[in-house]
Amino acid sequence: YSIMLKSLVRAVGAAVRLSSAPSAAARALPLSCPTNRSPGSVASRPFTRSLWMLNSNGAPSGYRPKLFSSKVLSPSVSCGCGGLHTEGDKAFGNFLSDEIKEEKKIQKNKTLPKMSGGWELEMNGTEAKLTRHLSGEKVTVTFNVNNSIPPSFEEEEEAQQQQKPAEEEPEIVSTPNFVVEVTKQNGKHTLVFDCHFPEDEMSHGEGEEESDIFAIREVSFQPEGDSEWKETSYTLNTDSLDWALYDHLMDFLADRGIDNTFTDELMELSTAIEHQEYIKFLEDLQSFVKCN
């Protein structure tokens, strides 16, 4: 039964992750890798060989195949800035402006979603910090949206998706690792929880049972207000932990507002920030390429 059950649980899990976000997945280039990978490598073999034949066929000196002509490398557009501008740059710029338009179209909201429970959001680049004061205690949750989108799309899923219409492509969800810090009033130390969303790792494993929505990876004390991470502090690893202790740690976090509801909202917030930062990056890239 257990195999049947696992596949059920995984199927249910996958169904949750699939939702309609037209062309949302189109931007994640790694997604389309498998399609390019195998046919690409097959196609490139005869291509390189024909090139080799061209070169070794005793072409008269002075003759160079058009492919090698220097024209491609020379700037063809000039704006007077002294920088290099190529046809490629121009195509790149046009591509980016289309991409930005598309991404803005699917952006759900210009403003970031609010976390319930009185959390205050502070941004520093791609790093977000949520703070909440709770009768003498300060709780902060920090996460970085960089590298927060798991490449959790399995081959079989991809194969299925290719046959499905575009609107059934999976929605991109950001599931960042996050650090919870709890500081007591007048406390010298901060209790630090290193947390993560285990789903991405689990979905690759064969026959793994479904994991909790979020999990604690490590717990340690760090000096209060110190941004330097002290490696010399004892670090409790939850891999081989007494489960009762683990449950108490989870209950401790739940009492401070870090529960499944919170982490669900955190995913939503992180996804929105990630998307916002992505669009910002595309705009920066566009103006860099265009040189204006």
Judged by the rule CB under 8 A, the positions of this chain that interact with another protein are 1-2, 5, 8, 12, 209-213, 243-244, 247-248, 250-251, 254, 259-261, 264
Closest distance to another protein from the beta carbon of 7 (Å): 11
User: Please, what is the minimum distance in Å from the beta carbon of residue 2 to another protein?
Assistant: 7
User: 8 or 73: whose CB is closer to another protein?
Assistant: 8
3-state SS assignment for residue 64: coil
Distance CA 279, CA 268 (A): 17
Which of 154/212 has CB closer to another protein?
212
Which of these, 282, 279, 272, lies nearest to 174 by C-alpha position? 272
CA 114, 120, 124, 127 torsion: positive or negative? negative
SS3 124: strand
Tokens linked to 173: 């969800």
- Among residues 2 and 109, whose Cβ is nearest to another protein? 2
Q: What is the C-alpha separation between 258 and 255, in angstroms, rounded?
A: 7
Smaller CB separation from another protein, 131 or 211 = 211
Crossing angle (nearest 10°) for helices 260-290 and 87-106:
150
Cβ–Cβ under 8 Å, residues 201 and 184: no
For helices 33-56 and 155-163, the axis angle rounded to 10 degrees is 90
Residue 25 CB, shortest distance to another protein, in Å, is 24
Closer Cβ to another protein, 3 or 42, answer by number: 3
Pairing mode of beta strands 137-144, 178-183: antiparallel
Q: Which residues contact 214 (CB under 8 A, 6 or more apart)?
A: 195, 196, 197, 198, 260, 263
Residue (of 22, 9, 25) closest to 152 by Cα position: 25
State how far the Cα of 111 lies from the Cα of 73, in Å rounded to an integer: 42
Q: Which is nearer to another protein, 13 or 187 (CB)?
A: 13
Question: Between residues 53 and 244, which has the closer beta carbon with respect to another protein?
Answer: 244
Q: How far is the CB of 157 from another protein (least distance, A)?
A: 19
Query: Is the Cβ of residue 8 or residue 134 nearer to another protein in the bound state?
Result: 8
Q: How far is the CB of 211 from another protein (least distance, A)?
A: 7
Q: How far is CA 120 from CA 22, 226, 255, in A?
A: 32, 20, 18
In terms of Cα–Cα distance, which of 73, 59, 1, 18 is closest to 203?
A: 18
CB of 230 to another protein, least distance (A): 29
Q: How far is the CB of 247 from another protein (least distance, A)?
A: 4
Q: Which two tokens stand for residue 290?
A: 């265009």
CB of 4 to another protein, least distance (A): 9
